[in-house]
Every structure is written in C-alpha cells, then in structure tokens.
Amino acid sequence: MWILLITIIPFVDAFGNLFNKRSSLVGVKPVLISWANNVVVVVLVILLSGFIHFKLTASYFMALSVTGTINILATILYMNAVSKGDISEVIPMLSFTPLFMLITSPVIVGEFPKPGGIAGILLVVTGSYLLNINLRKRNFIDPVKALFRNAGTRMMLFVSFLYSITSNFDKLAVNSSSPLQHLLFLNLYVFLGVTLVVIMRKSFDLEQIIKGRKSLFMLSLLNLLGSLLFLLAITYTYVAYVIALKRTSGMLSVLMGHFFLAEANVRERLLGAFIMFMGVLLILLG
C-alpha cells in the first residue's frame, strides 16, 4: 500500500513545484504563495470535518504544537533563505533532510532503516544534490562552500534539519489521531501562523492573488492531495523512506521545467536523476 502512495507523491510534488514557479512568474510574492498554499486544504477539510472522527488527546496536541510551530518557523526561514542566497546554492541544502532523519527518526519515533534502506537514502540525497547544481558552471562543493560565506545557505540547511523533526512529529500526531484529523489541524495551524506573518509584514496583496489565482488554486489543491498521501504513507513505513522518496520529485520537476517552462540544463542533470532512481530501487527492495 505504501509503495502505491509513495509512487504518486513525487508526481504531486513535482506538479506543485510547477504551479509554484508559475505563480512566481506572474509576480506573486513568496510569502503570499506560502499563505495561499494552505487555503484550499483548510476550506475543504473544514467542510468535510463532519465526517472526521476526532481524537482530541493530550499526546496529539503535543505533537501538533511541535510540528505546527516548527513548520511556521521553517516557512519563514525558507522565504528568507531564498531572498538572501543564490538559489543554486540554497536549494541543494534541502537534499539533506533524509540524511538528518537517520539521526532524528531513531530519537523521536524509534525508527532506524535497514542497511539497504540506508544505502538508498544516501543515493537519493546524493542524486538530489547533483540535480540542483550545474556541474558545467559550478564545482560540486560550491553549495557547501557557500555555508561559510552566505547566511541564506546556512539558513536553508537549518530548514532542512527542521523538516527532519516535523516529519517525525507528524507521524506521532497521525498515530494519536488520524490522517484526516491531522491534515485539518496542521494546515489550519500553519495557515493561521503564516497569516499573522503576512499581516505583520503588510504583505497581503489582493491584486497579486487575483493575478495568480489559477496557479495558486492548483498549488493549494495539490498541497491537499500531497499532504494527505504523505500522512497516509507514514502510517505504513519509515518516515525517512517517505521523505527520501518525496525528494525524487526533483527528477520530475526537471523534466516538467523543461517541457512546460522551457528550462535548460536537462542533460547534465540526468546523472543526479539516475542516482536517485537507483536509490529508490534500494529503498523499495530494502
């Protein structure tokens, strides 16, 4: 069951990245994209809340408060990191989340992958890293070197670590409730938090939202589907596996960027895609 869910998630994430890019291309600010990302999720799940069997326990609200608060912080830091650093140096830092989870998952949820799974995670991390750098124009370690000179890159590495924590607490939350309940409360929690940030920064711009309404709607709809599939998947297998396989959306994003947005540098990224594919096979077989 989890293999079927994991097969779908990268496609959902890749299409989400595509509509995220389209939203920014029409002039929507990152903070508004982050805000709109949760709108459809909150509205639809609230409408369906009558069909959800709620389990309102202390253990659930503890897990929710941790993952919700950290997710708000990660969202804010993510936006700041992108604004302060070169994207080609900042984005590869997200590749390290599955690696961090080899430390955080055993501590938080008591999960430690099998040897084959660990090898697969390492290959996915390596492939994802290669996928996000231009080997013709940049050195392999340029993003790592940027850690010492660029605050945005250091910030994104910290965001990557934060995601390795939130994913584990998401599993604790789901185990204490249900995927639908956590989908509702987590997105509502993050939505309200980001809304406060938008208000404090005076960043709300109705004109931008109207301009990018189609892409923003699709982005939020895909976030609903992706979040639900993720929360379902982590009930069946190791969280580290799910996150590692989510990162393979980068392969699909490269292809979609080429075919839908006419982006270049596809051939030189095939090495990273191939390494990620081999990592996926090891995880699935492990």
Q: What is the pLDDT of residue 259?
A: 66
Q: What is the pLDDT of residue 68?
A: 96
Q: Which residue has the higher pLDDT, 124 or 162?
A: 162
* Domain ranges for the chain: 2-285
Q: What is the pLDDT of residue 70?
A: 96
Q: What is the pLDDT of residue 131?
A: 66
pLDDT band at 38 (very low <50, low <70, confident <90, very high): confident
Listing DSSP states for the chain in one string gives -HHHHHHHHHHHHHHHHHHHHHHHHTT--HHHHHHHTTHHHHHHHHHTGGG------HHHHHHHHHHHHHHHHHHHHHHHHHHHS-HHHHGGGGGGHHHHHHHHHHHHT-----HHHHHHHHHHHHHHHHHTS-TTTS-TTHHHHGGGT-HHHHHHHHHHHHHHHHHHHHHHHHHHS-HHHHHHHHHHHHHHHHHHHHHHHT---HHHHHHTHHHHHHHHHHHHHHHHHHHHHTTTS-HHHHHHHHTTHHHHHHHHHHHHH-----GGGHHHHHHHHHHHHHHHH-
Q: Which residue has the higher pLDDT, 7 or 63?
A: 63
Q: What is the pLDDT of residue 224?
A: 85
Q: Is the entire prediction scored with pTM above 0.85?
A: no
Are the beta carbons of 41 and 217 closer than 8 angstroms? no
CB-count exposure of residue 255 (10 Å: 0-12, 13-18, 19+): middle
pLDDT band at 281 (very low <50, low <70, confident <90, very high): confident
What is the arithmetic mean of pLDDT over 140-146?
A: 62
Separation of alpha carbons 42 and 73, rounded Å: 19
Q: Which residue has the higher pLDDT, 91 or 86?
A: 91
* Residue recorded with tokens 């509205």: 43
pLDDT at residue 39 is higher than 80: yes
190-238 confidence digits (pLDDT tens): 989 988 888 887 878 888 888 888 888 988 888 888 888 889 888 888 8
Q: What is the pLDDT of residue 71?
A: 93
Q: What is the pLDDT of residue 167?
A: 94
* C-alpha distance from residue 41 to each of 15, 171, 238, 243, 281 (Å): 16, 19, 25, 21, 32
How many Cα atoms within 13 Å fall on the side-chain side of residue 11?
A: 6
Q: What is the pLDDT of residue 182?
A: 94
Q: What is the mean pLDDT of the chain?
A: 80
pLDDT at residue 10 is higher than 90: no
Q: What is the pLDDT of residue 258?
A: 62
Q: What is the pLDDT of residue 175?
A: 93
Q: Which residue has the higher pLDDT, 283 or 227?
A: 227
Separation of alpha carbons 86 and 84, rounded Å: 7
pLDDT at residue 130 is higher than 80: no
Q: What sign does the dihedral 126-128-133-136 (CA atoms) show?
A: positive
Q: Which residue has the higher pLDDT, 79 or 83?
A: 79
Q: What is the pLDDT of residue 59?
A: 95
